[in-house]
Amino acid sequence: MQELYELIKSSYKDRIIDIKEQKKIWTAVSKQFKPDLTLYEKERPSVIMAKETGDLGLSVLWIVQTALARPILKEIFLKSTVETQCIASLQKMPFLNNTDDSSLCALAHSEDAKAPVILSEQDENFILAGQKKFITAGRNSDLIILTCRTAGEEKINRIVIIDPKELPEDFITDLKLNIMVSVSHTRLTFKDYAVKKNQVPLIDPRIIRRIIKKFGILERALILEAFLSFLIYAEKTLAETGIDSSCDNLFSLLEKQSASVTKQISESYSDRIDTKNISFEEFMPVVEIFKKAYTKAENNLSESEKIKLKDIFLFDNL
């Protein structure tokens, strides 16, 4: 495992500028930490990687793959009421049939409420138009799960399974973010794009919304847990420059959030998650201490650590 941590650290700067390297490191991570949430109800690899390597972006990528995209994909097939022959046709699509632990599955859900992605019917196909504004690993993805709505609907009511390799290149635009830079983040814009009907599983819209909400809650809980773990790495790194960012309650906050995550994972097997995360009021004072410490230490950090520790400002950029 130590060998993987060293690889994550040594490849960090290359991965910032080369998405092929991002894919390589995900392959290595997925071999060590299988993206199957049922294996990690007590201790999460996203916590370990953030604490040991300081790579919050990679930790979040693991979370998206393990606690968001794959569970959603699994429930899509379990809940689908489409005819058996259509499900069989969907399963035979190469990009779905070839999905394994090393595959990157992206969820395209975040959008401007005033300009949602609309699905309309045209002859033998459906047509997509609109924009999704934040997709983790979108350019590197092997499969995209897209939420959308039909005209006149106020909420999402359809899901579309898309092969990214078939999308026109100009549909995917890189976001130039200053956070989690070890993983690509993109927006996805559809311009009257046709998809086949068997790419749109027939699921009760209420179930679609429940699935997305449930795993979205779990994703946020895991990200907060990983972020608190990342602060432990940051504390050690800042101390090496002579700057003290120690907080008496950081470990107790992490312990409390980890307990909440464990309960939420258990609840995710049902229809809803009720357990709450620690509140912003509890952990933001800790974040403010780290932000001030980073500002003092910035000029004494290596270039790589300077970039990594900018993730301390994660909640300023969301």
Which structure tokens are listed for 109? Answer: 């859900």
Q: What is the pLDDT of residue 83?
A: 45
Using 70 as the pLDDT threshold, list the residues of the chain that sit under it: 78-97, 318
Long-range contacts at 258-265 (CB < 8 A, ≥ 24 apart): 258/44, 258/47, 258/225, 260/221, 261/44, 261/218, 261/221, 261/222, 261/225, 262/41, 262/42, 264/217, 264/218, 264/221, 265/37, 265/40, 265/41, 265/67, 265/218
Placement of tokens 């793959």 in the chain: 65
| Helix pair 205-239, 70-79: axis angle to 10 deg | 170
Q: What is the pLDDT of residue 85?
A: 47
Which structure tokens are listed for 170? Answer: 């100009």
Q: What is the pLDDT of residues 5-64, one digit of tens each?
A: 999 999 999 999 999 999 999 999 999 999 999 999 889 999 999 999 999 999 999 999
Q: pTM value?
A: 0.94
Task: Work out the number of other CB atoms within 10 angstroms of the CB of residue 279.
Answer: 8
| Helix pair 205-239, 56-63: axis angle to 10 deg | 160
